[in-house]
C-alpha cells in the first residue's frame, strides 16, 4: 500500500525536491541569510501539507530550525527525525557542469547542490512520513528537527536542543546524512569521526615587501607556514602534535579483521579519484585510515599574490584552514588546545602566529544491538536484499554526539548516499533510485521499530 503510494507520487516527490534544491541555502556565506529563511519556511509548509499537526520555523541564535510533529498516541514510541537544510558553498563554480541551484535529472541521477547532502536525504523522511499518513500506516509518533547550520558546525542547535528538551523527547533519533559502502553493499553507519577545525594566520613584516630588496633576510610568512604545516605530520603519516594520540581507542586484532571484511578495492578507489597512490598513516588500511584513525587536512591555504603573471613580493601574511578528524575517545576541545599550543611553539621568533578554533564536534558510536539499529537493518535488508554491514564512516556529524549528551538519545544513521554523489564538491548528485528506495526503507523502519518496541 505504501509502495503503491510512493510509485504513484514519484513525479510529484521529485518536483517538490527540485523546489527545495533551487533555494541556495549556503550557511557558510552570510549573504544567503534570506535564502536560509525561505528554505526553512518552505520545509515547514511542506511538512504541514504532508500531515504534521504542528510545523513551524523556530528561531535560534543563528539560522532557524524547522520543527514539526505528529503525535498519534503519547503511549506509542516516538521517532525524532534529524536533518539539515543548509548546503555547502559551491565554489569553484567553473567546475560545475550544470547550475548548482538549477537541479536536473540526467543519467538517472539528480544533479545539484544538496541533491544528496542533505536536502535529498532529509526530504525522503518527509515523503516517507507523508506516505504513512496518507495510507493510514503511521505506527508511531514522529517529530522533525531540520537545522540550517550543519555545514558550519551546528553552532546554534546545541543551545536550542537544551532549551527544548521536553519538546524533543523521543525514543530514538533517525538521521539520513551518510553514505552506504556501495549500492550492492548496503550499510548502516555506526561510527562517526569527530572534528576539530582550526584557522591559522602567520604574520611577518608589517606590509608586503619587495622580494628582491628583502628576500633572504626577512622570514617569509608563506615559507614559514609551509614549514609549520609540514611539521604537523611525520614521514609515517602520523600527526606530530604531542598528546594527539593519547586517547585514541585502538581496535583489537579481531575488530580490525572484522572491519576489513567489507568489500573494498584499492585499485578501483585510486582509479575513481585518479590518484597515483593512496596515502596515510603507515600500518593501517584505507578503510581504517578513514574509519577508525584520526587525520589532519589543510582545507584551504592562501597568502601573497594569486593572480595572473608574477609579483615579486614577500607577503605580509599567510593563512590556512586546518582540520582534524577525531576518533573515540578524543575530545575536540582538548585537541584544539593541543593543536594551538604546538602550532604556536612551532613558530620562529621572526613571525607572529594567530590560532583560532572555528568549530568542533565529538566522535560518535551507535551500538549495533540497539532495537532501533536492528529495525533499520531489517528494513534495509528487505529493500536491498542484503543484510547491511555496520560501517565506520570517516565523516563527522558533530551534533549526533551532542544529541546523546543533551537529549540522552542515540541516533540511527541510515544513509542512502554513495561516494560518487560528490557531496561538498562541484557536481553533487544523488541517484533517483536511492531517493525512492530510501523512502520505502524508511517506511519499513517505522513498521519494524514499532513492532520491536
Restricting to residues 125-184, which ones interact with its own copies according to CB under 8 A? Answer: 151-153, 179
Site for its own copies in 387-406 (CB under 8 A): 393-396
Query: What φ, ψ does residue 357 adopt, rounded to 5°?
Result: -85, 120
Query: Least distance from C-beta 358 to its own copies, angstroms?
Result: 5
Cα radius of gyration (the chain): 23
Query: Least distance from C-beta 213 to its own copies, angstroms?
Result: 5
Contact 54, 80 (CB under 8 A): no
Binding part of the chain for its own copies, among 58-66, 125-133, 252-260, 284-292 by CB under 8 A, reads 284-292
Give the cell for residue 116: 544528496
Between helices 221-230 and 332-346, what is the axis angle to 10°? Answer: 130
Q: Between residues 32 and 70, which has the closer beta carbon with respect to its own copies? A: 32
Closest C-alpha among 395, 378, 327, 364 to residue 121: 395
Taking the C-alpha atoms of residue 134 and residue 111, their distance in angstroms, rounded to an integer, is 29
Q: Which of 12, 162, 278, 452 is in the footprint of its own copies by CB under 8 A?
A: 278
Residue 153 DSSP code:
T
# of chain residues touching its own copies (CB under 8 A): 102
Binding part of the chain for its own copies, among 77-85, 135-143, 282-290, 436-444 by CB under 8 A, reads 282-290
Q: Which of 11, 253, 279, 385 is in the footprint of its own copies by CB under 8 A?
A: 279
Site for its own copies in 64-93 (CB under 8 A): 88-89, 91-92
SS3 277: coil
Q: Between residues 165 and 352, which has the closer beta carbon with respect to its own copies? A: 352
**Run of H or E including 267:** helix 266-273
Query: Least distance from C-beta 295 to its own copies, angstroms?
Result: 3
Q: Is 248 in the site for its own copies (CB under 8 A)?
A: no
Taking the C-alpha atoms of residue 401 and residue 158, their distance in angstroms, rounded to an integer, is 11
SS3 203: strand
SS3 319: strand
Inter-CA distances, 241 with 228, 334, 342, Å: 11, 12, 6
Q: Which of 22, 38, 354, 359 is in the footprint of its own copies by CB under 8 A?
A: 359
Q: Site map for its own copies, 14-43, x if CB under 8 A? A: -------------xxxx-------------
Q: Between residues 4 and 356, which has the closer beta carbon with respect to its own copies? A: 356
Q: Site map for its own copies, 318-357, x if CB under 8 A? A: xxxx-x-x----------------------xxxxx-----
Give the cell for residue 293: 584513525
Q: Between residues 76 and 227, which has the closer beta carbon with respect to its own copies? A: 227
Taking the C-alpha atoms of residue 67 and residue 419, their distance in angstroms, rounded to an integer, is 30
Q: Between residues 81 and 232, which has the closer beta carbon with respect to its own copies? A: 232
Site for its own copies in 191-230 (CB under 8 A): 193, 195, 197, 199, 204-220, 222-223, 225-227, 229-230
Q: Between residues 278 and 452, which has the closer beta carbon with respect to its own copies? A: 278
The alpha carbon of 207 is separated from its chain's Cα centroid by a whole number of angstroms, namely 39
Q: Between residues 105 and 301, which has the closer beta carbon with respect to its own copies? A: 301
Query: Least distance from C-beta 11 to its own copies, angstroms?
Result: 31
Query: Least distance from C-beta 368 to its own copies, angstroms?
Result: 21
Task: Please enumerate in sequence order all residues whose Cβ is within 8 A of that of 239, keeping only pairs 6 or more positions apart, or say none.
Answer: 232, 233, 245, 294, 295, 296, 324
Amino acid at each position: 500500500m505504501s509502495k503503491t503510494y510512493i510509485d504513484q507520487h514519484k513525479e510529484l516527490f521529485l518536483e517538490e525536491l527540485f523546489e527545495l534544491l533551487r533555494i541556495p541555502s549556503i550557511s557558510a556565506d552570510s549573504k544567503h541569510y534570506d535564502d536560509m529563511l525561505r528554505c526553512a519556511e518552505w520545509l515547514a509548509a511542506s511538512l504541514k501539507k504532508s500531515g504534521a499537526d504542528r510545523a513551524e520555523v523556530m528561531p535560534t541564535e543563528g539560522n532557524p530550525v524547522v520543527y514539526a510533529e505528529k503525535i498519534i498516541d503519547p503511549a506509542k514510541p516516538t521517532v525524532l527525525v534529524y536533518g539539515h537544510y543548509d548546503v555547502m558553498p559551491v565554489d569553484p563554480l567553473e567546475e560545475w557542469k550544470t547550475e548548482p541551484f538549477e537541479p536536473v535529472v540526467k543519467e538517472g541521477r539528480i544533479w545539484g547542490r544538496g541533491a544528496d547532502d542533505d536536502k535529498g536525504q532529509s526530504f525522503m523522511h518527509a515523503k516517507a512520513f507523508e506516505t504513512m499518513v496518507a495510507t493510514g500506516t503511521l505506527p508511531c509518533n514522529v517529530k522533525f528537527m531540520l537545522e540550517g547550520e550543519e555545514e558550519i558546525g551546528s553552532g546554534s542547535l546545541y543551545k536550542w536542543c537544551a532549551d527544548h528538551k521536553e519538546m524533543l523527547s523521543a525514543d530514538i533519533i533517525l538521521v539520513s546524512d551518510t553514505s552506504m559502502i556501495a549500492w550492492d553493499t548496503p550499510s548502516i553507519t555506526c561510527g562517526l569521526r569527530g572534528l576539530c577545525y582550526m584557522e591559522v594566520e602567520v604574520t611577518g613584516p608589517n606590509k608586503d615587501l619587495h622580494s628582491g630588496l628583502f628576500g633572504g633576510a626577512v622570514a617569509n610568512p608563506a615559507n614559514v607556514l609551509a614549514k609549520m604545516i609540514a611539521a604537523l605530520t611525520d614521514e609515517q603519516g602520523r600527526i606530530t602534535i604531542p598528546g594527539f594520540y593519547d586517547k585514541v581507542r585502538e581496535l583489537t586484532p579481531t575488530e580490525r579483521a572484522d572491519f576489513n571484511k567489507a568489500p573494498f578495492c584499492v585499485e578501483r578507489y585510486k582509479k575513481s579519484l585518479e590518484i597515483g597512490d593512496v596515502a596515510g598513516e603507515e600500518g593501517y588500511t584505507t578503510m581504517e585510515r578513514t574509519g577508525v584513525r584520526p587525520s589532519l587536512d589543510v582545507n584551504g591555504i592562501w597568502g601573497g599574490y594569486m593572480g595572473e603573471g608574477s609579483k615579486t613580493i614577500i607577503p605580509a601574511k599567510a593563512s590556512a584552514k586546518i582540520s582534524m578528524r577525531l576518533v573515540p575517545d578524543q575530545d575536540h576541545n582538548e585537541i584544539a588546545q593541543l593543536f594551538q599550543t604546538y602550532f604556536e611553539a612551532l613558530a620562529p621568533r621572526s613571525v607572529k602566529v594567530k590560532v583560532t578554533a572555528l568549530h568542533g564536534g565529538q566522535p560518535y558510536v551507535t551500538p549495533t544491538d540497539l532495537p532501533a539499529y536492528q529495525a533499520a537493518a531489517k528494513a534495509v535488508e528487505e529493500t536491498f536484499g542484503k543484510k547491511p554491514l555496520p560501517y565506520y564512516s570517516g565523516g563527522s556529524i558533530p551534533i549526533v554526539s551532542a544529541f546523546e549528551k543533551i537529549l540522552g538519545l542515540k541516533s540511527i544513521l541510515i544513509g542512502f548516499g554513495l561516494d560518487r554523489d560528490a557531496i561538498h564538491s562541484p557536481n553533487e548528485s544523488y541517484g533517483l533510485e536511492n531517493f525512492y528506495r530510501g523512502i520505502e526503507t524508511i517506511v519499513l523502519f517505522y513498521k519494524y521499530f514499532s513492532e520491536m518496541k
